[in-house]
């Protein structure tokens, strides 16, 4: 289960924009460089790790999808692709939850990624 920590200070508009950028793929680099507050940088680190997981899953799953479609029935390839899209949808919803919680001033930790973000 994800844990939350609450921020004691109010976020500025710039911090809010950078926090949203932290979960939008390549824009996480803007958030890491321009973020002044530790809270925003932490969310950017967690967003960077979430983006890395997405890229790693794509690199791993794309060849598997091609294998299923080429050597097995195309039906299995389609089922595999539907499962991959459902995983992508889940990751997208997780990113949206992190954005909303961050804008509320909470540090919403994704179970494994949040602990890694603490160490970075």
Report whether 87 contacts 53 (CB < 8 A): no
pLDDT band at 61 (very low <50, low <70, confident <90, very high): confident
pLDDT at 84: 81
Q: Does residue 37 register a pLDDT over 70?
A: yes
pLDDT at 5: 60
* Segments making up each domain of the chain, as ranges: 3-119
Q: Does residue 89 register a pLDDT over 90?
A: yes
Q: pTM for the complete prediction?
A: 0.81
What is the rounded distance in angstroms from the CA atom of residue 70 to the CA atom of residue 114?
38
What is the rounded distance in angstroms from the CA atom of residue 2 to the CA atom of residue 11?
22
Q: For the chain, what is the mean pLDDT?
A: 85
């Amino acid at each position: 289960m994800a844990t939350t920590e609450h921020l004691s200070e109010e976020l500025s508009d710039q911090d809010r924009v950078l926090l949203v950028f932290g979960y939008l793929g390549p824009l996480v680099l803007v958030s890491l460089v321009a973020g002044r507050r530790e809270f925003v940088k932490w969310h950017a680190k967690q967003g960077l790790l979430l983006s890395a997981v997405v890229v790693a899953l794509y690199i791993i799953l794309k060849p598997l999808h091609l294998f299923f479609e080429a050597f097995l029935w195309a039906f299995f390839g389609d089922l595999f692709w539907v499962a991959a899209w459902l995983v992508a949808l889940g990751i997208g919803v997780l990113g949206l939850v992190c954005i909303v919680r961050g804008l509320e001033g909470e540090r919403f930790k994704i179970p494994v990624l949040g602990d890694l973000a603490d160490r970075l």
